[in-house]
Amino acid sequence: MNTLLTLNPLKLQTTHTSHIYRKPTYSYTPTSCKLSSKDTTTKNKVVVPGSAPSLSEQDNGPTPPPPPKLPPKKNTFVKRFSKKVLSALANLPLALGEMFTIAGLMALGTAIDQGEAPEYYFQKFPEDNPVFGFFTWRWILTLGFDHMFSSPIFLGTLILLAASLMACTYTTQIPMVKVARRWSFLQSANTIRKMEFSDSLPKASLQDLGVVLSGAGYEVFLKGPSLYAFKGMAGRFAPIGVHLALLLIMGGGTYTATGSFRGSVTVPQGLNFVMGDVLGPNGFLSTPTEAFNTEVHVNRFYMDYYDSGEVSQFHTDLSLFDIDGKEVMRKTISVNDPLRYEGVTIYQTDWSISALQVLKDGEGPFNLAVAPLTVNGDKKLYGSFLPIGNTDSTNVKGISMLLRDLQSVVLYDQDGKFVGVRRPNSKLPIEIDGTKIEIVDAIGSSGLDMKQVLSPQTDPGVPIVYAGFGALMLTTCISYLSHTQIWALQDGTTVVVGGKTNRAKVEFPEEMNRVLDRVPEINEPSDALCG
């Protein structure tokens, strides 16, 4: 008795292009044709509305009007010009140059103190001693480097970079995604064998390969004897996401820079100021609010010290008063602990010494002005002078006092000789050249930076920037996912397989070998069994 081994592999509809798990459905709609026995030799005519009738249809009627002129072809100059502009903006070296320019401007803005008065730059960058032999205050004030992040040159470079990113997305990234999503079937085994990975499966079925690839996470499509599969499409979308994230970061930062107010002030203890007198606009979106009428009073300024005597922290006790003189808020601020009120943030950034209160021979107290002294290094040093004797004389002599901070005063006599050191509020007098001096207090000045943003409650640019950075980290990780494409062709009983990937070049052959090892082999019936 003869035994026949019959293999019934997985049968897929392959007449039309279809997904491996989606069985195509076909519909047939009968169409009726009506034939006319009249003039069956007449050809079909296309009648265009508004056109003149043919000569055979004219019954000696009036002469028809001439046919309308066809509209002229559209000028393609605009399209060609747009393509050239987009191609130039999407140029990678240009985009890299823009990014390096922005990085250099940001570094320069960090090196140059921002928002200072012009006199500060006159002294810091004088013309008689230019930095690098040419950089003076004229460069800073002319180019707007004193407010770098809202200057025209910085914002213009940001806009140019944003245009480059959008042009690259439109001309390169989006077309690449469209191509990657398109089904691409190959009909040549030689083309498949020339790919970066290729192999042949003798006695194999294209349908079995499709099932194995689908189980490995691939999207599989069949068309006749051809197969196309891919996975990792998210990696193709990631560059578009990176570009959008960068646009969010730049847009949020620009929104904050052009829609805010900034200012700085140094206020002695016991004095006050109005917010609107200090805050200045940063850009064309800056809009003042009711908080600008708020008055700020410096109740007290004091410092904390290390055991070595160095300043460790400084604090300012502030009170805020509305336009009616009512205290609406009070807080002691310090470095990294600002005050926030109605969209205005007050930071503790610096300190100074404004005056000394002294008793002279039991009289007073007298307020002596204190001036900063120029010394080498970053150490602060302040000096004051108490005249003794005839103050109307052209050769006034007196007692000199030096302060490094608020906790001690060094005194010198009329000849400049060291006399002693006294602490403010120590109530310990010292006699110098017959004059008894007592240091009552050293009055400090608080250096405050202020910022007001567009929204009266919060900075509108900060959430945008945070969202941009979050999207940038996410899309950067996604961009490392490999986009893999596989083609296969049924050549008789042999399946020719090839593929490529944009990343993971080393791991891709190993993955393909594991996939191909799972494809079952077709056992053909032997002659003995079929005889």
- pLDDT 10s digits, 242-268: 999 999 999 888 887 777 788 889 999
Q: How many CA atoms lie within 13 A of 394 on its CB side?
A: 0
Burial degree of 38 (CB within 10 A; 0-12, 13-18, 19+): exposed
Q: Contact 189/489 with Cβ under 8 angstroms?
A: yes
Is residue 142 in a domain?
yes
Does residue 308 sit in the same domain as residue 416? Answer: no
Flag whether 498 is in a domain: yes
pLDDT per residue as tens digits for the range 92-135: 899 999 999 999 999 999 999 887 778 889 988 998 888 888 89
Look at residue 33 and tell me if it is in a domain: no
pLDDT tens track for 498-526: 999 988 888 899 999 999 999 998 876 54
| DSSP codes, 60-76 | S-PPPPPPPPPPPPPP-
- What is the predicted pLDDT for the residue at 377? 60
- Based on the fold, state whether residues 132 and 210 are members of the same structural domain: no
Domain membership of residue 175 (yes or no) is no
| Range of the structural domain that residue 490 is part of | 183-232+482-517
Peptide bond into 53 cis (omega under 30): no
pTM for the model stands at: 0.56
Residue 37 pLDDT > 80, yes or no?
A: no
Q: How far is residue 448's CA from residue 467's CA, in Å, rounded to a whole number?
A: 30
Choose among 352, 329, 324: nearest CA to 339.
Answer: 329
Say how many domains are in the chain.
Answer: 4
pLDDT for 199 equals: 93
What is the residue whose two structure tokens read 């823009």? 98
| pLDDT tens for each residue of 287-313 | 788 889 999 999 999 999 888 888 899
pLDDT in tens, 130-165: 888 889 999 999 998 988 888 889 999 999 999 999
Span 364-387, average pLDDT: 84
pLDDT score of 10 more than 70: no
State what percent of residues in the chain have pLDDT above 70: 81
pLDDT at 331 over 90: yes
117 and 156 part of one domain: yes
Residue 14 has pLDDT above 80, yes or no: no
> pLDDT grade, residue 454 (50/70/90)?
low
Q: Is 439 helix (H, G, I), strand (E, B) or coil?
A: strand
Based on the fold, state whether residues 378 and 298 are members of the same structural domain. Answer: no
Residue type, 126: P
How far apart are alpha carbons 217 and 228 in whole angstroms?
13
**Do residue 340 and residue 462 come from a single domain?**
yes
Residue 48, Cβ density class (10 Å: 0-12 exposed, 13-18 middle, ≥19 buried) = exposed
The reply to whether 325 and 302 lie within a common domain is: yes
If asked whether residues 374 and 504 sit together in one domain, one would say no
431 and 453 housed in the same domain: no
- pLDDT of res. 8: 35
* 348 or 453, which is more confident: 348
Residue 299 counted as domain residue: yes
Whole-angstrom distance, CA of residue 128 vs CA of residue 134: 10
Domain final position from 115, 136, 168: 168
507 & 375 share domain: no
CA distance 145 to 166: 28
* Tokens (6 digits) for 134: 């040419």
Instruction: Please list, residue by residue across 309-323, b when 16 or more beta carbons sit within 10 angstroms of its beta carbon and e when fewer do.
Output: eeeeebbbbbebbee
pLDDT above 80 for 400: yes
Look at residue 153 and tell me if it is in a domain: yes
Res 375 pLDDT > 80 = no
> Of 351 and 455, which is predicted with more confidence?
351
> Do residue 374 and residue 413 come from a single domain?
yes
CATH of the domain at 506: 3.30.310
52 occurs within a structural domain: no
CB 256 within 8 Å of CB 453:
yes
Give the CA distances from residue 476 to residues 130, 248, 479, in Å, rounded to whole numbers and listed in that order.
43, 15, 5
The DSSP element (H or E) to which 368 belongs, if any, is: strand 363-369
For residues 438 and 495, state if they share a domain: no
Q: Helix, strand, coil % (nearest 5) of the chain?
A: 30, 30, 40
**Pair 206, 262 in one domain:** no
Determine, yes or no, domain membership for 372. Answer: yes
In angstroms, the CA 274 to CA 291 distance is 10
Strands (E), 86-218: 197-201
